[in-house]
Amino acid sequence: MFDGQPPSSLLKTLDTGPITNRVNIVRNVNGMFAYVTIGGLNEIKVFRTDNFEQVATIPTGKLPHGIWPSGDGRRVYVGLENEDKVAAIDTLKNDVIATSPVGQAPQALVYVPDAGPAASGATNSATSNLQPLGVAGQSAQLWLAPPGAKKEEKPPTSVSLSDQGLVQVLEAAVTGLEPGKPYLLALATEPSGNGALEPLQGFITNPAGAAIVNAIGPIRQVVRGEDKIPRRYLVILPGTPDNHGAAVQVQRD
């Protein structure tokens, strides 16, 4: 946080969590608050703007990203990038009250008050130009967790596969790794990560041990064993394609 007046000095730095990506200001009857999306934790953290006290943590869904309040400040809307939805949050209760499918990987969001007529029967109503999502609404979600992790433990990595016709765009919100280290996202012939490997993407984690990793290909068909394709499993291994260790995260069904 910086002072809005010159010379814009630094007021405070908050350690919010891995893949902190967007912030927006909400004003309502309770005061003024900063709503921060924490993609690696699948949650929003809410801070007062006067003393920077954290007042709420809101579980949202996978990889919250773009965020914007309604005109009256009673709602805030957030795109769930790895869930292809937008969540609506009641800012007086700080709870998710609804989710709506909007298409693949929403990353930014803008709320425009009174942008169109509210009456659904009006000739130029706000819903008159809505169209079915079609292929843009088709996606698959997966989780990666450490080998041997218990089912009740929250997996640290979410994966979304967004259909583009014959192939999918993979986006993994990776957390729970060592900071500043090289890793490899790959397909393995065995659930444990052993056997033959097909590298998909190498990456280096940030200081929070997190990263956003992307790849493209017919990955959904492979990890589900569709169309008589031998099934393989998404895994994360430390190192590079030429020199790597054993899997540290494996696909959880």
Q: Are residues 24 and 97 in the same domain?
A: yes
The pTM score is 0.82
Instruction: Return the C-alpha torsion angle 59, 251, 170, 20, nearest 10.
Output: 30
Residue 156 lies in a domain: yes
| Number of domains, the chain | 2
Pairwise CA distance, residues 176 & 209, whole Å: 6
Q: Are residues 92 and 151 in the same domain?
A: no
- Supply the CATH number for residue 54's domain: 2.40.10.480
- Supply the CATH number for residue 194's domain: 2.60.40.200
Q: Give residue 122's pLDDT.
A: 53
Residue 110 lies in a domain: no
Residue 163 lies in a domain: yes
User: What residue numbers bound the domain in which 92 lies?
Assistant: 20-101
Q: Give residue 68's pLDDT.
A: 96
Residue 128 lies in a domain: no
Pairwise CA distance, residues 41 & 211, whole Å: 12
Q: Are residues 95 and 146 in the same domain?
A: no
Domain boundary among 80, 101, 122: 101
Q: Give residue 121's pLDDT.
A: 55
Judged against a pLDDT cut of 80, whether residue 118 lies above it is answered with no
Q: Are residues 143 and 228 in the same domain?
A: yes
**How would residue 251 be classed by pLDDT, with cut points 50, 70 and 90?**
very high
Judged against a pLDDT cut of 70, whether residue 221 lies above it is answered with yes
* Cα-based angle 62, 64, 65 (whole degrees, multiple of 5): 140
Q: Are residues 70 and 145 in the same domain?
A: no
Q: Are residues 71 and 148 in the same domain?
A: no
Residue 14 lies in a domain: no
- What would the pLDDT profile of 16-27 be if each residue is shown by its tens digit? 999 999 999 999
Q: Are residues 143 and 240 in the same domain?
A: yes
Q: Are residues 86 and 146 in the same domain?
A: no
Residue 107 lies in a domain: no
Which residue is it, tokens 């989710």?
99
More confident residue, 139 or 41: 41
Residue 8 lies in a domain: no
Q: Give residue 99's pLDDT.
A: 96
Residue count (the chain): 253
- How many angstroms separate the Cα of 115 from the Cα of each of 69, 110, 118, 182, 189? 15, 11, 9, 47, 51
Q: Are residues 248 and 145 in the same domain?
A: yes
Least confident of 52-66, 103-117, 208-222: 103-117
